[in-house]
Amino acid sequence: MKAIKILLAAVFIFVNSVTKAQEQSRQFSIIPEPEFVKVMPGNFKLSSANIILYDDRNAELKFIADQLSEKLKVYTGYKLPVKKLTATAGKNQVIFKLSDKLSGVGAEGYTMDISSGNIVITSNQPQGCFYGMQTLLQLLPVNPTEAANIPALHIQDQPRFSWRGSMLDVSRHFYSVKQVKQYIDFLAGYKLNTFHWHLTDNQGWRIEIKKYPLLTSIGAWRKRSLIGHFEEQPERFDAVPHGGFYTQEEIKDIVAYAQRKYVTVVPEIDLPGHCTSALAGYPELGCGENPGPFEVKDKWGVFDDVYCAGKENTFKFLEDVFTEVAELFPGKVIHIGGDECRKTNWKSCKYCQARMKKEGLKNEHELQGYFINRIAQVLKSKNKRVIGWDEILEGDHLSPDALVMSWRGTTGGVTAAKKHHDVVMTPTTYLYLDYYQGAPYLEPLTIDGFNTLERVYNYEPIPSVLNADEVKYIKGVQGNIWTEFIPNFNQLQYMAFPRLSALAEVAWSKPEKKNWERFKLKMETEYSRYEALGINYSKSAYQVSFEMVRGARTQKIQMVLKTQSYNPDIYYTIDGTEPNQNSNKYVGPFNVNPNVKIKAATFKNGVQQEKTTDYEVK
């Protein structure tokens, strides 16, 4: 009996401790999920009495400390002093320091120890302290306050992948310097470290090249833009000229801004196709004897206009362009596109055919390989590596140090990894963030596709067909936002959020640390953060979806209602009327009859969260 009592007491203590830990864990929400978190007793009180200290052996830590002070000023209304760390540590301090004895966190990882006395963020490299700061900011209460309690924790954290990126297309629609910087802030807040900047395409050239001024005086502007989807007939256009470009000084400013956030800017200059905006100013770069005239495209899609692969002046032009580009971007990698290059003009161009004969190329696909490899050699001479979409594998002559961005599914990534090329996984079917994220009839027009929050979150970047040696070539992941149907920054935010949060956890967190149910719970806090920051996020995760099933016992048709939100309150009707909180509350699958129209919506705190969805049972 005594043994049983002891056992019951032990069980009670265990259950009670687990419950307390769960309750404490609900007090904070960290995205992406850290590698290790241990809840400790107590809290650190954030107040005007705090001091931020930095290890002055590295000047970058002062920049990080200053950034934290500025962010806390916006949050609390007061600015905390920033001082050098001395040997005598006291209380009420937030400390950033480096250590050459810190193991298990790599170059970008960190440890964080929060107690009632102070907060200490330690890393091997400054970027680790920066990422620790992002975690600390997520531990603050959502709503700004003069004083806040931060839960005592021990965190050890490091990223899974070295390339954690997002691409923004500024060719189809132009965004201001201020907006680009704000987008970089979004990435940095989620510990994403690569900003892929799609600067040129058929619809606009967005980067100043001093040697070729017509690229921006002509190529940066289109007369009008397509209205509606490009498959719609007849085509409709607005009457509003659209354009803009970034001066080299503005680009330097943006790159420097990103560097302070530990974000590497990777510019993309698209070739051999997607280049009509360049040909509009310099038509001699096209195929044939007297090519052109060309106009900056006013509609979306893929076109026959490409650079001529047979003319030497094409390569001279591109070498000049990349000479200026390489000087503007200190990162080691430059993107050259390489996708969707139609070969129609090459097949009929005497210059291209002569090039193929001279170089012993069997077909136009090998000619593309030749083109890509020549540009890769240009960039190599400038100490840059080339990266391109997976079509750069065409021709089988790709430079060994080239990186491949796998977008047409995972096949390109698998092929590249097996050939020992570094790979960034960005398949359309999971990581194109310009695709629909909710029911298309409730969402803004997009190009197509369907990538919900859950679908993005559940993506696994390592293809199962790769062996242990090949896996090491998968360097990371990237979410892409093409902007044909995203005309302004407000809508850009809608498409990016909340899916950037899911991308962040795919890119940073180890698979065993990911949990969809826990992520949904964390997102409830994250949505509140979006609202506090004024971010125009999508609430599509609250949309109700419908699934017809058969009852296990009766085999009768039943309806299952689902959302991608945590523990939602769903109300529905079966008479076609709009649901409210007086309607049927969903508690589980229910029987349905033919010729019934079901309408359903999610509510939180008495407020409907998203538009009503409906389903008609035939």
Torsion of CA 474, 479, 482, 487, to 10 degrees: -160
What is the C-alpha to C-alpha distance for residues 579 and 217, in angstroms, rounded to an integer? 54
Identify any residues that bridge with 18 across adjacent strands, giving them in sequence order.
none
The helices-and-strands tally (H runs, E runs) of the chain is 18, 29
Band (550; pLDDT cuts 50, 70, 90): confident
DSSP string, 369-417: HHHHHHHHHHHHTTT-EEEEEGGGGGGG---TT-EEEE-SSSHHHHHHH
Q: Does the structure show a pLDDT above 70 at 6?
A: no
Band (377; pLDDT cuts 50, 70, 90): very high
Q: Are strands 194-198 and 82-84 parallel, antiparallel or unpaired?
A: unpaired
Q: What is the mean pLDDT of residues 221-247?
A: 96
Band (397; pLDDT cuts 50, 70, 90): confident
| Percent of the chain predicted with pLDDT > 90 | 91
DSSP state letter for 125: S
Give me the catalytic one of 250, 295, 340, 454: 340
Reported for 286-295, long-range contacts at CB under 8 A and 24+ positions apart, including other chains, are 286/345, 287/345, 287/346, 287/348, 287/349, 287/351, 287/352, 288/345, 288/348, 288/349, 288/350, 288/351, 289/350, 295/222, 295/223
Neighbours of 441 (CB within 10 A): 9
Tell me how far CA of residue 423 lies from CA of 90, 108, 362, in angstroms: 47, 20, 27
Strands (DSSP E) along 220-378, which ranges? 221-222, 226-227, 236-237, 242-243, 264-271, 333-337
Question: Quick one: which H or E segment has residue 550?
Answer: strand 545-550
Question: 434-480: per-residue pLDDT in tens?
Answer: 999 999 999 999 999 999 999 999 999 999 999 999 999 999 999 99
Provide the residue type at 448 as one letter: D
Active site residue 524: no
Question: 80-134: per-residue pLDDT in tens?
Answer: 999 999 877 789 999 999 999 899 999 999 999 999 999 999 999 999 999 999 9
Q: What is the mean pLDDT of residues 247-253?
A: 98
Length of the chain: 618
Q: Does the structure show a pLDDT above 80 at 394?
A: yes
Of residues 618 and 498, more confidently modeled: 498
What is the C-alpha to C-alpha distance for residues 45 and 355, in angstroms, rounded to an integer? 70
Band (423; pLDDT cuts 50, 70, 90): very high
Question: Quick one: which H or E segment has residue 478?
Answer: strand 474-481
Q: Does the structure show a pLDDT above 90 at 14?
A: no
Those residues whose C-beta lies under 8 Å from the C-beta of residue 265, and which sit 6 or more positions away, are 195, 197, 254, 255, 258, 329, 331
Q: What is the pLDDT of residue 27?
A: 63
Tell me how far the alpha carbon of residue 408 is from its chain's centroid: 17
Q: What is the pLDDT of residue 529?
A: 96
Identify any residues that bridge with 424 across adjacent strands, giving them in sequence order.
405, 476
Q: Does the structure show a pLDDT above 80 at 231?
A: yes
Q: What is the pLDDT of residue 551?
A: 76
> How many angstroms separate the most distant Cα atoms in the chain?
100
Residue 419 and residue 369 in contact, taking contact as beta carbons nearer than 8 Å: no
Question: 363-373: per-residue pLDDT in tens?
Answer: 999 999 999 99
Q: What is the pLDDT of residue 9?
A: 46
Q: Does the structure show a pLDDT above 50 at 375?
A: yes
Question: 254-305: per-residue pLDDT in tens?
Answer: 999 999 999 999 999 999 999 999 999 999 999 999 999 999 999 999 999 9
DSSP state letter for 586: P
Taking the model in full, what pTM does it have?
Answer: 0.95
